[in-house]
């Protein structure tokens, strides 16, 4: 497709994906796990899915909430922070939190600056790519400081990139920006003094459904994506344990809803299978050993439905 063609897209579910940036590669992995098959021609931002009546639309993450909330796009992946910055909370629903793209929107100041709270920045200069969120935050700061004059209020200035350089280059007294590991900020000689919000990638849909006939497909794709996310978050833990200590063992591995318990030939023993969080599996195995469980095995999940 060389351009958006309404006749070609008609009847298809429109799914907006970030075209670049920190969420893009993770989204492609998510689509592959959900068996959404497509080939994106070079330099084109729209492509048709081969095995579903879906069209993928690659957009800047900051634009996706508006296209989903007010346009004809049915589903989208973007950041929670972007929804709030675009003031689209009333127009879109966050269907799933996806567990990647985690970051914090923070106020950062130079290491050497004698600033230890945001109140010390009242009436100063703030540079950010998040004018709306920063504006609301520092409006409260100015109110606490008793600043009423427009000339004396904290100045919020927009910069599209390299926000972390604003203080060193004399443009700002502090910045508001997204922070993942914090390495970039530390390299720029900055330190955090406040966090406005925590963010991560989310799957969104319009608060007002646009295409009733697409509802079953929207639910199917949502369930598939939820399954891919669960498969990445959980592993299967399988073990044998005496019936006498079964309650102690299942307290350690309660599963997402309940563990699967199967009898063994020895009536005093049972086999237990349960989903446990991948990040906690080592501790879970140690705890199972402490209550007498044996033959403890961990299996990775390729995919799931939860």
Q: Can you give the residue range of the structural domain that contains 167?
A: 103-199
Between CA 118 and CA 176 the distance in angstroms is 11
123 and 160 share a domain?
yes
- Give the end of a domain, one of 210, 244, 260: 210
Count Cβ atoms below 10 Å from residue 235 Cβ, excluding itself. Answer: 21
Quote the crossing angle between the two packed helices 215-233 and 24-33, to the nearest 10°: 110
- Which of 24-33 are b and which e, b meaning 16 or more Cβ less than 10 Å from the residue's Cβ? eebbbebbeb
Q: How much is the pLDDT for 44?
A: 84
pLDDT for 69-110, tens place per residue? 999 999 999 999 999 999 999 999 999 999 999 999 999 999
- Token couple for 119: 């109140």
In a domain, 252, yes or no: yes
**What pTM was computed for the model?**
0.86
Q: What is the predicted pLDDT for the residue at 1? A: 40
If asked whether residues 283 and 258 sit together in one domain, one would say yes
CA angle, corner 32, sides to 236 and 2, nearest 5?
Answer: 170
Name the CA dihedral angle for 270, 275, 279, 282, rounded to a multiple of 10 degrees.
10
Shared domain check, 275 and 260: yes
Predicted pLDDT of residue 7: 67
CATH of the domain at 182: 3.40.190.10
pLDDT at position 211: 87
Within this chain, do residues 81 and 123 fall inside the same structural domain, yes or no?
Answer: no
Output 2-10 pairs: Cβ under 8 A, ≥24 positions apart: 2/44, 4/46, 8/48, 8/55, 9/46, 9/55
**Quick check: is 216 in a domain?**
no
Say whether both 108 and 188 belong to one domain: yes
What CATH code is carried by the domain that includes residue 246? 3.30.70.120
| CB 177, CB 105: distance < 8 Å | yes
Segments of the chain scoring below 70 in pLDDT? 1-7
Q: Is residue 305 part of a domain?
A: no
Residue 132 tokens, joined: 């709306």
Residues 60 and 205 in one domain: yes
Residue 145, domain member (yes or no): yes
Question: 177, 199, 221: which is the final residue of a domain?
Answer: 199
Residue 291 near residue 241 (C-beta atoms within 8 A)? yes
162: in domain: yes
Question: What is the total count of domains within the chain?
Answer: 3
| Same domain assignment for residues 206 and 87 | yes
Query: Other C-beta atoms within 10 Å of 109: how many?
Result: 26
Closest CA to 96 of 227, 231, 278, 274: 227
């Amino acid at each position: 497709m060389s351009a958006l063609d309404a006749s070609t897209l008609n009847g298809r579910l429109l799914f907006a994906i970030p075209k670049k940036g920190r969420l893009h590669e993770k989204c492609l992995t998510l689509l592959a796990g959900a068996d959404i098959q497509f080939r994106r021609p070079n330099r084109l931002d729209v492509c048709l899915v081969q095995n579903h009546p879906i069209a993928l639309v690659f957009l800047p993450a900051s634009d996706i909430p508006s296209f989903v909330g007010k346009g004809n796009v049915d589903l989208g992946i973007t950041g929670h922070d972007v929804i709030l910055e675009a003031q689209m909370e009333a127009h879109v629903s966050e269907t799933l939190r996806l567990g990647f793209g985690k970051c914090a929107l923070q106020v950062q100041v130079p290491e050497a600056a004698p600033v230890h709270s945001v109140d010390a920045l009242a009436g100063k200069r703030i540079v950010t790519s998040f004018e709306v969120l920063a504006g609301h935050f520092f409006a409260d700061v100015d109110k606490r400081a008793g600043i009423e004059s427009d000339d004396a209020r904290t100045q919020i200035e927009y910069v599209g990139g390299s926000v972390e350089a604003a203080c060193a280059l004399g443009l700002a007294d502090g910045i508001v920006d997204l922070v993942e590991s914090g390495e970039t900020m530390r390299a720029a000689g900055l330190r955090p003094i406040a966090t406005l919000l925590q963010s991560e990638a989310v799957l969104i849909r319009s608060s007002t459904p646009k295409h009733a006939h697409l509802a079953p497909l929207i639910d199917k794709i949502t369930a598939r994506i939820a399954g891919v996310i669960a498969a990445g978050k959980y592993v299967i833990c399988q073990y044998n344990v005496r019936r006498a200590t079964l309650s102690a063992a299942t307290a350690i591995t309660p599963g997402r809803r309940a563990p699967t318990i199967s009898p063994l030939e020895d009536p005093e023993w049972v086999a237990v299978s349960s989903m446990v969080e991948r990040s906690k599996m080592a501790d879970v195995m140690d705890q199972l050993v402490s209550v007498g469980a044996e033959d403890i095995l961990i299996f990775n999940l390729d995919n799931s439905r939860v």
